[in-house]
Amino acid sequence: MIEAASSENIAKAAELLRRGELVAFPTETVYGLGANALSAEAVRKIYEAKGRPSTSPLIVHVASVEMARGLVTEWPVAAALLAEKFWPGPLTLVLPKAAAVPDELSAGLPTVGLRWPKHAVAEALIREAGVPLAAPSANRFTELSPTTAQHVEAGLGDRVAMVLEGGASEVGIESTVLSLVGGTPRLLRPGMISRQQIEAVVGPVEVVTAASGEAHEAPGQHEKHYAPKTRLVVVKGEEDLPQKGRGLYLFRTKASAWIPARRMPKDPEDYASLLYELLHELDQQGLQWIAVEAPPAGVAWDGIRDRLRRASARVVK
Ligand code: TXA
Ligand code: MG
């Protein structure tokens, strides 16, 4: 059930979380499916509700640097600098995990991904619960991430104790994931905090491609992710549009003369903010395909390019 984020409902949600129940909550990136990160049993419920393989680790949400430091065995200078610069915000840092973090949460890895979300409701909920919250995106496995409470309700409604209303997620795509384990920082998932912005703080960053398996997704297996139900293709221009079926062209530079088309924002922040919300909406329209004009070059578009590539990937089994 969707509930307004009043202080009364946040207190109720916090109580549910402390009792080991699942609560979906808004963040600035996408809505999260939250559980007490310190309870193995609560964490198992997340995997069940999502239908997600237990080999895929979860992100833990905190509301202070102190809370983050309590969950790891090392807090390197790079973590301190990045947290100072980008937290609260859409950057997840992977660090060696403390014993208090259940193995279920990290999918057996010796590390944990942490972030402090920049959303008043998320922060209030974490503080009120008094525990860090494990939360993947609040969608069924391989489906599109939710950016509104209504998306969550439609996808997972009967599987969560409560959905807290927090408006549309502003960033609109999932956080940047950066590993600080070992030598050079490694970018595991691009997002709206770009490699360039991170490098300006900590120096060179290595980019890990999804196919290399380092993001703990076996090559190919989880490649299809963040996908709408409607077939999505990324095209260079009008000449590549599918010839058959009812479709829509999401263009940046030039509309099509013969296919219904819609202009996408020029600015990457605005583009990301709109993308999932639009795809959720288009998924209701019974289209045979959605064609998206490829984003331009440049690191500011890395996160968007990555999500479009995954959304258009065929399932490889
Ligand atoms: O913006 C976000 O990050 C959203 C909101 C709710 O915070 N959460 C999210 O969670 O996207 P999820 O579970 O859908 O994606 C988590 C990503 C996965 O790519 C996972 O492989 C990676 O983070 N990850 C988490 N913990 C990790 C770890 N210990 N080592 C490597 N990768 C990790
Ligand atoms: Mg997800």
Q: What pLDDT is recorded for position 220?
A: 36
From the CA of 222, the nearest ligand is 1
> What does each C-alpha distance from 315 to 159, 219, 223, 225, 312 come to in angstroms?
26, 12, 7, 9, 9
Burial class (CB in 10 A: 0-12, 13-18, 19+), 286: exposed
Q: What pLDDT is recorded for position 5?
A: 97
Sheet holding 261-263, edge to edge: 231-235, 289-293, 247-251, 261-263
Q: What pLDDT is recorded for position 210?
A: 60
CA distance 249 to 125: 40
Reply yes or no on whether the pLDDT at 215 is more than 50.
no
Q: Spell out the residues 6+ positions from residue 182 whose beta carbon is closer than 8 angstroms to its own.
A: none
- Average pLDDT in the 256-271 region? 95
pTM: 0.95
Please tell me the residue having the least CA distance from ligand 1 atom 20.
Answer: 57
Mean pLDDT of the chain: 93
Peptide bond before 88: cis, by omega within 30 degrees of 0?
yes
Reply yes or no on whether the pLDDT at 173 is more than 50.
yes
Burial class (CB in 10 A: 0-12, 13-18, 19+), 208: middle
For 112-140, the pLDDT digits (tens) are 999 999 999 999 999 999 999 999 999 99
CA of 134 to the centre of ligand 2 (A): 12
Percent of the chain with pLDDT over 70: 94
97 contacts 111 by C-beta, under 8 angstroms: yes
Percent of the chain with pLDDT over 90: 89
- Average pLDDT in the 157-186 region? 97
CA distance 117 to 101: 19
- Average pLDDT in the 204-215 region? 72
Q: Which residues share a beta bridge with 137? A: 32
Q: What pLDDT is recorded for position 39?
A: 98
- Average pLDDT in the 265-287 region? 97
Q: What pLDDT is recorded for position 161?
A: 96
Per-range mean pLDDT, top range of 168-177, 203-212, 219-228 = 168-177
Reported as a pLDDT band with limits 50, 70 and 90, residue 218 is very low
- Average pLDDT in the 6-27 region? 98
From the CA of 29, the nearest ligand is 1
Please give the structure tokens belonging to residue 314.
């065929």
CA of 136 to the centre of ligand 2 (A): 6
CA distance 90 to 251: 26
Q: What pLDDT is recorded for position 316?
A: 46
CA distance 166 to 145: 15
For 55-96, the pLDDT digits (tens) are 999 999 999 999 999 999 999 999 999 999 999 999 999 999
Reported as a pLDDT band with limits 50, 70 and 90, residue 317 is very low
Reply yes or no on whether the pLDDT at 199 is more than 90.
yes
CA distance 224 to 141: 10
Ligand 1 is surrounded, with C-beta below 6 A, by 27, 29-30, 32, 56-59, 90, 92, 94, 106, 109, 111-113, 117, 135-137, 174-175, 177, 188-189, 215-216
Reply yes or no on whether the pLDDT at 159 is more than 80.
yes
Reported as a pLDDT band with limits 50, 70 and 90, residue 172 is very high
Max CA pair span of the chain: 60
Atom of ligand 1 nearest to the CA of 188: 32
Reply yes or no on whether the pLDDT at 311 is more than 70.
yes
Please give the helix or strand (H or E) that residue 23 lies within, else none: strand 23-25
Reply yes or no on whether the pLDDT at 216 is more than 60.
no
Q: What pLDDT is recorded for position 187?
A: 98
DSSP label of 3: E
From the CA of 58, the nearest ligand is 1
Q: What pLDDT is recorded for position 289?
A: 97
